[in-house]
A and B are shown apart, each in its own frame.
Chain A
Amino acid sequence: MHDRLTQSMRASHLLAAFFVLAALGLAATGAATGDSFYLRLGTEALIFAGLALSVDLLLGYSGALSLGQALYFGVGAYVSALTLMKVPSFWLAMGAAFAASLVTAIIGGLIANRVRGVYFALITFGLAQVMAKVVYNTRELGASDGMIGIPVVEIGFGPVSVSAGSPAGFFLIVLAIIMGLYALTAYLVDTPFGRVLTALKANERRVPFLGYSVWRARMAAYVLAGVIAGLSGALYPMLRGFVSPELMFFATSGNAVISVVLGGVGTLIGAIYGAVLLVVLKSIIGSWTEHHLIVIGLLFMLCVMFLPKGLAGLVRPRIAALLERRKQGPRAGAAPADLGSVAVKPGSTS
């Protein structure tokens, strides 16, 4: 019998599989009808899903709310754009974005991880603000206009290659990368490292007594989240052909937090669903009013207050229960609770 964390992660994987199927369906329909608008919108949603995933790794597992995750997203995007303008190579751009976000996240982590709780939230916010303003003021980076005219790359996999300009092809590549990042994160939170993170969220003071370094675990989570955000950001200029300082502003970080809360904090797959939901909501509401913030803000507040585990919190425990029942036969007892209740009540082991 697996513990609850593994169980709920399995339910997440089922939701992830469903997500991939739906995305493949969209890609097939889009390719068949020659659509580019919805495929490009879907690709953008996936890219922001990567950013949401990185926020959820921090908030949902180590309990640290980052209000400045767009910093790493923006670093990835700008470095990728700069690389592509010099050498139009997908792999080089991704490698450079990886290295740059790794280094930035280590520096950012050294600063932000000196504090916790509210201070952490506000320092990450401040760090992103500094960086966004620096980019905004630097003429070499296009200042407030950003940089345009980033060339369309050919993404080569040995003998075959896909153009980033092909809507369906690039959608599939982004889907593979984002789901790869999801798989990596989901795997890591299921390892002993992930358990230390969960322990941090439940009770940070007890963790040192178990022989683990709080700082090291927090730092590892922070750097990992920064790299995930950076790699997601690196895909943005390939899709849109431009980068702008807005990618680093608070609105971008805020949207990622909204996605995570809508989808379900601490579920990973929920963050991805949440990001897609947010993009869909914005374009639907945006088609009849420009004041979409009211609806999204209201939905967000209701989620925080009445649905603390988000949409995934509604669905996932049922799937987990179903999975468990199928394995153990109909005699299996109470439905397993979701991960959150384990974290809140460390004493309950039933």
Chain B
Amino acid sequence: MTAIDYLQFVLAPQVVNGLALGVAVVLVALGLTIIFGMLDVINMSHGEFYAIGAYAALALGAAGIGFWFLLVLVPVLMVPLGMAAERLLIRPVFDTKDRHVTTLLVTFGLGLIVEDVLKIIFGANTQRPPTPIPGATEILGIILPNYRLFLILVGAAIVLAVAYVVYKTRLGAMVRAAAFDRNMAASLGVPVSLVYAGTFAFGVGLAGLAGVLLAPIYSVFPTMGRDFILLAFTVVIVGGMGSIWGAVVAGLLLTQVQALASLVISPVWTDPIVFGTMVAFLVFRPQGLFGRLGHA
């Protein structure tokens, strides 16, 4: 095999596959890092909300609702769920002394319950919705599945839109103000408790959206949240907890490590390599790429 062939048939497709996985991980990690950055809450049930989104897409899709409508419908349906979770579970423990640990534990419990409920409703089997965009495109002689290309574009658009809302709009400024100093924001007229509930619900909605987008590629099964959330947490830690750009950079970096490593060694070793990279990274930069150490 010549070098050009290797590039065209092995390396480039692998890089694009890695990119698609990277975008997927960033989508899941985005909600996680927003909930942490704005609310200072670790949402261990984020993976289960992602699973709920995927199952909702599967069920509603089977009921005849089109994929394009689901992209809007499922995140909207997730919002009241997120609001309820915030009000019933997060708010009662929000002011405890050790908020990080308490919210982590509460959401961990929630995750256990959701996983079992999904198992009861949908069964333990793996299912996969049909690909909404079939076929493949040839770019520079590299054959790429259309849906993966679509995922990369949509994922990038979502990340940019979220970053725009958080950093450039008045709403985003209110959310950041409430995160920075709750009392000051409240006295300036920001409806703080609504902002908190809304931010949590927004993060949950993003998890649901990720579920809709990723279900056709990565299948749907009750423990899917647990499998994906490991990588998402790794991305959030390496990127620096609470940083949107950190999650993006770390997500793309780590999934490239994973994609390229699987060319050299057996794919079963890619997970230890990714987590090992995380550990090695944190030995030298404990606060992550864009994190502030005093924050957590």
Contact = CB atoms under 8 A, between A and B. Distances in A.
A291 B237 contact: no
A130 B275 contact: yes
A266 to B, nearest CB: 11
B112 A293 contact: yes
Interface string B263-290: 0001011011001101100110011000
For A115, A118, A298, A301, the residue with the greatest tally of chain B CB atoms inside 10 Å of its CB is A118
Interface string B95-108: 01110111011101
A214 interface: no
Contact of B268 (A122, A137, A261, A304): A137
A40 to B, nearest CB: 26
B86 interface: no
B296 to A, nearest CB: 4
Contacts of B92: 305
A137 B282 contact: no
Interface string A294-334: 10111011001100100000000000000000000000000
A158 interface: no
Nearest to A59: B101
A278 interface: no
Contacts of A261: 105
B112 A297 contact: yes
Interface string A48-73: 00000000000100010100000000
B102 A304 contact: yes
Contacts of B234: 126
A301 B109 contact: yes
A309 B148 CA distance: 49
A300 B287 CA distance: 30
Given A117-B296, A137-B269, A297-B109, A305 B89 contact: yes
Contacts of B286: 114-115, 119
Interface in B228-257: 230, 233-234, 237, 241
A195 B112 CA distance: 35
Given A261-B105, A301-B89, A344-B97, A122 B237 contact: yes
A300 B279 CA distance: 30
A254 interface: yes
A125 B115 CA distance: 20
A119 B233 CA distance: 10
Interface stretch (B116-124, B149-157, B193-201): B116-124
A275 B283 CA distance: 33
Given A118-B42, A118-B104, A293-B112, 16 more contacts: A65-B104, A111-B283, A114-B282, A117-B296, A119-B241, A121-B101, A126-B279, A127-B279, A133-B271, A133-B272, A133-B275, A257-B108, A291-B116, A293-B113, A300-B108, A304-B105
Contacts of A111: 279, 282-283
A126 B275 contact: yes
Contacts of A63: 98, 101
A119 B226 CA distance: 19
A78 B163 CA distance: 47
B100 to A, nearest CB: 5
Contacts of A293: 112-113, 115-116
B93 interface: yes
A123 B116 contact: no
Given A111-B282, A111-B283, A308-B96, A125 B233 contact: yes
Nearest to B110: A301
A280 interface: no
A59 B233 CA distance: 21
Contact of B279 (A130, A137, A254, A308): A130
B237 A123 contact: yes
Given A137-B272, A261-B105, A296-B112, A117 B93 contact: no
Given A117-B100, A344-B97, A297 B268 contact: no
B126 to A, nearest CB: 18
A294 B116 contact: yes
Nearest to A64: B101
A291 B233 CA distance: 27
A130 B272 CA distance: 5
B296 A119 contact: yes
Nearest to B116: A293
A134 interface: yes
B162 to A, nearest CB: 22
A294 B105 contact: no
B109 A123 contact: no
**Most chain-A CB neighbours within 10 Å: which of B36, B104, B230, B287?**
B104
Interface in B198-240: 226, 230, 233-234, 237
